[in-house]
Amino acid sequence: MSFSMYDAAIPTFIHTLTSLKNILKKGAAHAEAKKFDPANLLNARLAPDMFPLTRQVQIASDMAKSSAARLTGTDAPKYEDVEKTFDELIARVDKTIDYLKTFTPGQFEGAETRTVTVTTSRGSFTFDGKTYLRHWALPNFFFHVTTAYNLLRHNGVELGKADYLGSVQG
């Protein structure tokens, strides 16, 4: 059996979002244990011109759901970006995982050659599905998950590589 676009996308997004959810839980527990306002972590940035933790999680969620939708020629659900607490961010990650679990391998047939166009503030980019997944969707997704991890780690949350990788069992 060959490795499919479904295999590259859906299990990867679900696995890493599950790790992100656990990282967020550790962030919430850290704030509670240290008896400080969780907003200190939720609004944390590594540089003044970057998005805070809440937005990093929102973008990671959006990248996972929109990528699956683009690759299958379907419409992704729209989520309002209103999360202000760890519980709300965790609920958003759970909602994204639940959405991703609705996809089947059959929906990804032909996804590697499907034309995908992404419009950003920098312009429009058009890819075939395989290039989109490998060089746009997954790198962007991992960038925002990694940044969320780094924001919490930088602010004293006890995290390590094992938290980021999650359970590596097949």
CATH classification at residue 103: 1.20.120.450
- Position 156 pLDDT exceeds 90: yes
CB atoms within 10 A of CB 157: 20
User: What's the pLDDT at 71?
Assistant: 98
Average pLDDT over residues 99-113: 97
pLDDT band at 167 (very low <50, low <70, confident <90, very high): confident
User: What's the pLDDT at 123?
Assistant: 95
Does residue 92 sit within a domain?
A: yes
On average, the pLDDT of the chain sits at 96
Does residue 38 sit within a domain?
A: yes
Residue-wise burial string across 14-28, b where 16 or more C-beta atoms lie within 10 A, e elsewhere: bebbebbbbbbebbb
User: What's the pLDDT at 151?
Assistant: 98
- Position 23 pLDDT exceeds 70: yes
For the chain, percent of residues with pLDDT exceeding 70: 98
Average pLDDT over residues 42-64: 97
- Position 170 pLDDT exceeds 70: no
Average pLDDT over residues 118-145: 96
Does residue 137 sit within a domain?
A: yes
Does residue 150 sit within a domain?
A: yes
Does residue 144 sit within a domain?
A: yes
53-72 and 5-34 helices cross at what angle (nearest 10)? 160
pLDDT band at 3 (very low <50, low <70, confident <90, very high): confident
Alpha carbons 49 and 42: distance in angstroms, whole number: 16
User: What's the pLDDT at 169?
Assistant: 66
Alpha carbons 16 and 67: distance in angstroms, whole number: 14
User: What's the pLDDT at 152?
Assistant: 98
Does residue 170 sit within a domain?
A: no
Domain count, the chain: 1
Domain that holds residue 117: 5-165
Quick one: 5 exposed, middle or buried, by C-beta within 10 A (0-12, 13-18, 19+)? buried
Does residue 68 sit within a domain?
A: yes
